[in-house]
C-alpha cells in the first residue's frame, strides 16, 4: 500500500519504533534512511482542533465551553475534538502503536509541528516511551542524526502556539458578529487578516486622495571629442535644483521651496536659450562602489523573490517549496533564520570556488544578522539539502516546471550569499552652460562600472522600485567617457520631457509580505494563508499582480478603525507577536496573557486568575502600549453596538451629493439626477477600482443604469415593483426592495401578500433577497413583458421527482445556459424554452443517456487502478477540465507534473487521494457540519481529562484567521 512503511520485527537493539510524520510523501525516504525496526506513518497534518461551538455535544454547549469551545472563566481551557476525517487515521495509528516499543514524533520542526506532536500524544495516549525527533532536511545524514538526538516535547513552544490558536478564536468570535450585524452577514475578522486588509485600504485611500502634479525637465546628449556620446539631465538653474517627482506631495503641491519648478513652456524656453551655447565639464567625481550579497532565503524573502522573478503567488511558492522539502531537495521552508549550518557554509563556498573560481570566495564565511523582530527559534535558512549541494543542472532531469525554477532560485541565492562583494566605481559628470539671457544651467550624468562582479556572477536580488526610481534609468554598467574638468563638449541634442507624478503603488503580494515582516505583524509561515484569506473573503481582489481592496474592505476597515482601533493598530498587533515569543521562551505565562487580552488589564470581574504585568514592566515593544497589558479587553465587543451607525459606516462620499454604499448585495451608488434632482441608484461593477470612482465615473454609472431600467409593473403576489435592467452580467429582471425599509416592514408586506403566520414569515422575509432572473437570449430589456418577468422570477421550475431515486428534478437557467438538476447531477437542455415546457418523462429520458460535457459523450477512464485502500472504492484516472486526475468517486486528486496517466501505479493513486483527504474540504457544507456535530458527542474527549495530564492546555496551530 502507498504511504505505508513495513518495519522489520526489531532493530539492532531489539526495539520496534513507530515514527509519525505529518505528510505521507516523507514516508518512503525516511523509512529507507532509518532502516530496520522503524515503522513510519503519517498523521496527515493536524488531527485535533477546536470545534465550532455549534458542533459541541448538547451537554457541553450549555456549559462554559458553549461560546468559544474554550472555557474563558477557568484558565482558558480548550475543548478539543478529533477531526471527522482523521478518526480512522487515529485508530490506525493506535493499532500500529500497540505493536511498538517506542513512539517517535517526527512532525515539522516549527511551533505548529510541536503542537501537532503534543496533540498526537493526547489522542493516542501511548503506554510506551515517546520522544520528539526534529530535522531540517530529509537526507540520510540529517535523518540518522535526528534519530540519535531525540528530545522531549517542548512545552513552551506548544504553549506559544496554543495561545495563538485560542487568541485567534477569541478575536474572531468576538469581533466577527459585529461585522455581521453592522456590515454584512457571513463576514470574518482576524487578528492579522484585518490588519493586512487595513494596509491595502490605507494605500488605496492614498491613491484616492492623490492629485497628479505636472513638471518638465531637459535632457541633452553630449559628444566629447574622440570619445562616445553620453546623455545627461538638467539638474539646476541659477543654483536652484530642478524639481523632480519626489519634490511633490500626494496633493500635487511642492514640498520643497528652494527648487526650480519647470513646466513644458519654461523647459522649452531653456532649450531655446541654450541653442549654440558653449558647454564645458565643470566637475568629475568618482567614488568606489561596493555591493554585498543578500542573505540566504527565509520564508518571507522566498515568497517575495518567487513573486518578482517567477510570478508565483505566496501560496504557490509555499506549496512548491513544501514539495521540494518533502522530496529531499531543500531544507525546511518555514523559517525566520538567515543562518547557515557549518556544513552548508562549507558546501556553498566549495561550490562557488569550483564554479566561479577561488577569487570569488572570501577568506572566511559570511555571517548574517537577522533583522526580524520575531526570528524563529533554532532554525536554518532555506537552502539546498545535503552536505554537498546539487546544482540545477544536476537536478534538471528530476525536477520540472515551478519546482525546478524555485530550486534554481534557492541554489543561486545560497551560493551567492557566500561569495565576494561586487566592486566597481560610480562616476558623476557635471556639465554647465549659460543661456542666451544669462541664466546658469547645469546637467549631470552618473554611471556605475562593475569591475568585479563577485556574487553577481551567480545571483542578483530583485526589488520593488519606488515611485522616484520608476522614471530613473538603471545606471549600473553605464560607462561614462574619460573627461576632466574644463573639457569643452558639444550638445548634439537638447529636448524637453513632460512628466506627471504617479500615485503610490498598490501592494503586490511581495510588497505586502515585506511590509508585514518589517512591521513584525504575523508569522512569515502564515503570510500565504493570510493573503489567501483576504482574497477569499472578498476584501481584496487581484488586478494583474496588484492587490486592490474592495468597497467591502473599506466598510469593514472603517468600522474597526473607528470603534476598535487597538485591534487593527500595527504596533499593538506586533506587540502580540512579541508576547507570544515571550511565552515560547518561558518569559510569560499563557493564562495570564490571555486573561489580560480577553478581560482587560484589571482581569475578570470576579477577580479570579488575576493578570500579572509583562516581565519588564513595559506594555509592548520599545516601551509602547502594543500589548494586552494596556487594553480594556475584548470581552463582550458585540454586546452593545448602539453607537455604531451601520449606514454611516458603509457610506463613502464621492462628491456633488453622490455617495457609495456597501449594501447586502454589493456596492451601489446613490445620488441626485443632475437635471431633475431625482434620486438615482446604480450598482458598481467589480472592475471599477476605488481610486477610479470619481464624480464623473459615478455620474456615468448612475445615468447609464438608470436609463436602462424598464418598469414592467407590480407583482400581484407581493406588491413589489418588477423592473428590467442591464447589469454587469447582462440583462435581467428583478423586484425592488427598499434598502432603507426596516426588516419588519418588509416582513409585514410579505406576510399580507402570502398569508403566512406572522412570526414565522417575518423572520423569513427579513432575510429574503430580491428575486432575479436573467433574460433569455431572445428577450430584451425594452420588450420583455411583466408576464415573462414573473415566469423568470419563478425559476427554478420543479419538473417532477425521479421515481427510482426520489430526487427532485428542476429546470433552470444558468451562466452556461439552460439545464436540468437532480441532486448534484446536471444535464444541459437544448434551448431556453425547454425550461418551461419539458415534462418529467422527457427529463428522465435525458438522464437515461450518458452524461455529456460541451456536447461530447463522457470519456471512459484513462486507467483503472483497483480499489482504494482507505475507501474501498475503485480508483480510476480520468481526463478532467484541468488535466488528468485520480478519483474513487468521492475524492478527486489532480495528478502532479511527474505523474504519467498511463504508467501511474495504484500505490501512487492511493497516495494522491490520501493527501487530498488530509487537506480537507475547501468549505464545510451544512450536511458535513451536522455530521460533525453528531459524531462530536461520541468521540470528543473531555477537556478536563486532557488538563489532568497537562496543566496548561494547548491547541493546534491552525493558520491565523
Long-range CB contacts (< 8 A, 24+ apart) of 258-263? 260/236, 261/215, 262/215, 262/216, 262/217, 262/218, 262/237, 263/214, 263/215, 263/216
Q: Are 217 and 262 in contact (CB under 8 A)?
A: yes
**Which residues on neighbouring strands pair with residue 49, listed in sequence order?**
81
| Residues 286, 446: Cα–Cα separation, whole Å | 10
C-alpha cell at 348: 556553498
User: Which residues face 254 on adjacent strands?
Assistant: 248
DSSP letters for 34-50: H-TTEEEEE--S--EEP
Question: 706: which DSSP letter?
Answer: H
Taking the C-alpha atoms of residue 417 and residue 348, their distance in angstroms, rounded to an integer, is: 8
Q: CB-based contacts of 902: which residues, under 8 Å, 6+ apart?
A: 862, 863
- Cell numbers representing residue 846 in the block: 435525458
Query: CA 454 to CA 293: how far, in whole Å?
Result: 9
Q: Which residues of 834-845 are buried (b: 16+ CB within 10 A; e: fewer)?
A: bbeebeeeebbe
Inter-residue contact 359 to 420 (CB < 8 Å): yes
Crossing angle, helix 551-563 and helix 193-209, to 10 degrees? 110
Residue 675, helix vs strand vs coil: coil
Distance of alpha carbon 658 from alpha carbon 652, whole angstroms: 9
Q: Are 551 and 660 in contact (CB under 8 A)?
A: yes
Contact 331, 407 (CB under 8 A): no
Q: How far is Cα 619 from Cα 628, in angstroms, rounded to an integer?
A: 8
Q: Tell me if 952 sits within 8 A of 591, measured CB to CB.
A: yes
- Which residue has 491565523 as its cell numbers? 960
Q: In angstroms, what is the C-alpha Rg of the chain?
A: 33
C-beta of residue 725 within 8 angstroms of C-beta of residue 796: no
Give first-to-last CA distance, the chain, whole Å: 36
Nearest-angstrom CA–CA distance, 158 and 586: 11
**Any idea what DSSP says for residue 805?**
T
Pairing of strands 658-663, 710-714: unpaired
332 catalytically annotated:
yes
C-alpha cell at 550: 474592495
Which candidate in 79, 215, 332, 598 is catalytic? 332
Per DSSP, 832 falls in state T
- Catalytic center residues: 332
Amino acid at each position: 500500500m502507498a504511504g505505508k512503511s513495513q518495519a522489520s520485527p526489531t532493530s539492532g537493539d531489539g526495539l520496534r519504533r513507530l515514527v509519525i510524520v505529518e505528510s505521507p510523501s516523507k514516508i518512503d525516504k525516511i523509512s529507507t534512511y532509518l532502516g530496520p525496526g522503524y515503522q513510519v506513518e503519517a498523521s496527515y497534518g493536524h488531527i485535533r482542533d477546536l470545534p465550532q461551538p455549534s458542533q459541541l455535544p448538547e451537554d457541553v454547549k450549555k456549559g462554559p465551553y458553549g461560546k468559544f469551545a474554550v472555557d474563558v472563566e477557568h484558565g482558558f481551557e480548550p475543548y478539543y475534538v478529533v477531526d471527522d476525517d482523521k478518526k480512522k487515521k487515529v485508530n490506525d495509528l493506535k493499532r500500529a502503536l500497540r505493536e511498538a516499543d517506542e513512539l517517535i514524533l517526527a512532525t515539522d520542526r516549527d511551533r505548529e509541528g510541536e503542537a501537532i506532536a503534543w496533540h498526537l500524544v493526547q489522542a493516542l495516549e501511548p503506554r510506551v516511551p515517546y520522544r520528539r525527533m526534529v530535522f531540517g532536511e530529509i537526507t540520510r545524514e540529517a535523518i540518522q542524526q535526528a534519530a540519535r538526538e531525540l528530545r522531549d516535547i517542548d512545552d513552551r513552544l506548544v504553549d506559544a502556539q496554543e495561545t495563538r490558536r485560542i487568541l485567534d478564536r477569541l478575536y474572531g468570535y468576538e469581533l466577527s458578529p459585529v461585522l455581521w450585524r453592522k456590515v454584512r452577514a457571513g463576514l470574518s475578522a482576524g487578528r492579522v487578516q484585518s490588519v493586512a486588509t487595513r494596509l491595502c485600504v490605507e494605500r488605496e485611500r492614498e491613491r484616492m486622495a492623490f492629485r497628479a502634479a505636472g513638471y518638465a525637465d531637459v535632457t541633452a546628449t553630449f559628444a566629447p571629442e574622440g570619445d562616445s556620446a553620453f546623455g545627461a539631465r538638467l539638474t539646476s538653474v541659477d543654483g536652484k535644483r530642478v524639481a523632480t517627482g519626489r519634490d511633490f506631495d500626494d496633493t500635487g503641491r511642492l514640498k520643497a521651496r528652494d527648487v526650480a519648478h519647470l513646466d513644458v513652456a519654461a523647459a522649452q524656453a531653456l532649450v531655446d536659450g541654450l541653442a549654440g551655447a558653449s558647454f564645458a565639464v565643470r566637475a568629475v567625481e568618482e567614488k568606489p562602489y561596493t555591493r554585498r550579497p543578500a542573505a540566504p532565503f527565509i520564508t518571507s524573502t522566498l515568497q517575495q523573490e518567487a513573486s518578482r522573478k517567477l510570478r508565483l503567488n505566496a501560496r504557490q511558492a509555499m506549496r512548491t517549496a513544501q514539495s521540494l522539502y518533502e522530496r529531499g531537495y531543500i531544507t525546511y521552508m518555514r523559517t525566520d533564520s538567515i543562518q547557515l549550518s557549518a556544513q552548508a557554509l562549507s558546501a556553498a563556498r566549495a561550490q562557488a570556488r569550483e564554479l566561479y573560481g577561488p577569487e570569488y570566495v572570501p577568506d572566511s564565511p559570511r555571517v548574517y544578522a537577522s533583522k526580524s523582530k520575531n526570528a524563529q527559534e533554532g532554525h536554518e535558512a532555506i537552502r539546498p539539502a545535503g552536505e554537498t549541494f546539487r546544482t540545477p543542472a544536476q537536478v534538471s532531469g528530476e525536477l520540472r516546471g515551478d519546482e525546478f525554477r524555485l530550486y534554481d532560485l534557492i541554489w543561486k541565492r545560497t551560493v551567492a550569499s557566500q561569495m565576494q562583494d561586487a566592486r566597481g566605481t560610480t562616476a558623476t559628470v557635471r556639465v554647465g552652460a549659460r543661456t542666451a539671457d544669462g541664466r546658469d544651467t547645469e546637467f549631470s550624468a552618473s554611471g556605475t562600472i562593475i569591475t568585479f562582479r563577485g556574487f553577481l556572477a551567480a545571483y542578483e536580488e530583485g526589488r520593488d522600485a519606488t515611485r522616484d526610481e520608476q522614471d530613473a534609468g538603471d545606471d549600473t554598467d553605464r560607462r561614462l567617457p574619460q573627461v576632466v574638468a574644463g573639457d569643452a563638449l558639444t550638445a548634439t541634442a537638447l529636448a524637453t520631457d513632460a512628466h506627471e507624478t504617479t500615485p503610490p503603488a498598490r501592494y503586490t503580494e511581495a510588497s505586502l509580505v515585506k511590509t508585514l515582516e518589517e512591521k513584525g505583524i504575523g508569522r512569515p509561515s502564515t503570510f500565504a494563508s493570510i493573503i489567501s484569506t483576504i482574497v477569499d473573503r472578498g476584501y481584496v481582489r487581484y488586478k494583474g499582480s496588484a492587490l486592490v481592496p474592495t468597497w467591502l474592505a473599506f466598510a469593514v476597515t472603517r468600522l474597526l478603525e473607528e470603534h476598535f482601533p487597538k485591534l487593527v493598530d500595527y504596533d499593538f498587533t506586533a506587540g502580540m507577536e512579541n508576547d507570544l515569543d515571550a511565552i515560547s521562551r518561558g518569559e510569560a505565562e499563557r493564562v495570564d496573557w490571555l486573561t489580560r487580552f480577553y478581560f482587560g488589564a484589571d482581569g475578570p470581574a470576579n477577580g479570579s486568575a488575576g493578570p500579572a504585568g509583562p516581565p519588564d514592566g513595559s506594555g509592548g515593544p520599545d516601551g509602547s502600549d502594543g500589548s494586552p497589558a494596556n487594553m480594556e479587553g475584548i470581552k463582550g465587543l458585540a454586546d452593545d453596538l448602539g453607537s455604531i451607525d451601520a449606514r454611516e459606516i458603509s457610506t463613502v462620499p464621492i462628491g456633488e451629493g453622490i455617495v457609495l454604499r456597501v449594501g447586502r448585495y454589493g456596492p451601489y451608488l446613490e445620488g441626485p439626477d443632475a437635471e431633475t434632482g431625482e434620486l438615482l441608484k446604480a450598482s458598481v461593477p467589480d472592475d471599477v477600482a476605488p481610486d477610479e470612482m470619481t464624480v464623473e465615473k459615478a455620474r456615468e454609472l448612475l445615468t447609464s443604469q438608470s436609463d436602462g431600467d424598464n418598469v414592467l409593473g407590480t407583482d400581484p403576489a407581493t406588491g413589489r415593483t418588477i423592473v428590467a435592467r442591464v447589469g454587469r452580467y447582462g440583462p435581467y429582471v428583478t423586484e425592488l426592495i427598499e434598502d432603507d425599509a426596516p426588516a419588519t416592514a418588509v416582513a409585514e408586506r410579505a406576510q399580507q401578500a402570502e398569508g403566512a403566520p406572522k412570526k414565522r414569515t417575518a423572520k423569513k422575509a427579513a432575510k429574503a433577497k430580491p428575486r432575479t432572473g436573467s433574460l433569455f437570449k431572445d428577450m430584451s430589456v425594452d420588450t420583455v413583458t411583466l408576464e415573462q418577468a414573473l415566469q423568470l422570477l419563478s425559476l427554478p421550475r420543479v419538473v417532477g421527482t425521479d421515481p427510482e431515486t426520489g430526487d427532485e428534478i428542476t429546470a433552470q437557467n444558468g451562466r452556461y445556459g439552460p439545464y436540468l438538476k437532480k441532486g448534484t447531477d446536471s444535464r444541459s437542455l437544448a434551448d431556453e424554452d425547454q425550461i418551461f415546457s419539458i415534462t418529467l418523462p422527457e427529463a428522465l429520458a435525458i438522464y437515461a443517456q450518458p452524461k455529456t460535457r460541451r456536447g461530447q459523450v463522457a470519456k471512459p477512464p484513462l486507467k483503472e487502478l483497483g480499489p482504494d485502500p482507505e475507501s474501498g472504492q475503485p480508483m480510476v484516472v480520468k481526463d478532467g477540465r484541468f488535466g488528468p486526475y485520480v478519483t474513487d468517486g468521492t475524492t478527486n486528486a489532480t495528478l502532479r507534473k511527474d505523474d504519467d496517466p498511463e504508467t501511474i501505479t495504484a500505490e501512487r493513486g492511493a497516495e494522491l487521494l490520501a493527501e487530498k483527504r488530509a487537506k480537507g474540504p475547501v468549505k464545510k457544507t451544512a450536511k458535513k457540519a451536522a455530521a460533525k456535530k453528531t459524531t462530536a458527542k461520541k468521540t470528543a474527549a473531555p477537556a478536563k481529562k486532557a488538563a489532568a495530564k497537562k496543566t496548561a492546555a494547548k491547541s493546534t496551530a491552525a493558520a491565523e484567521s
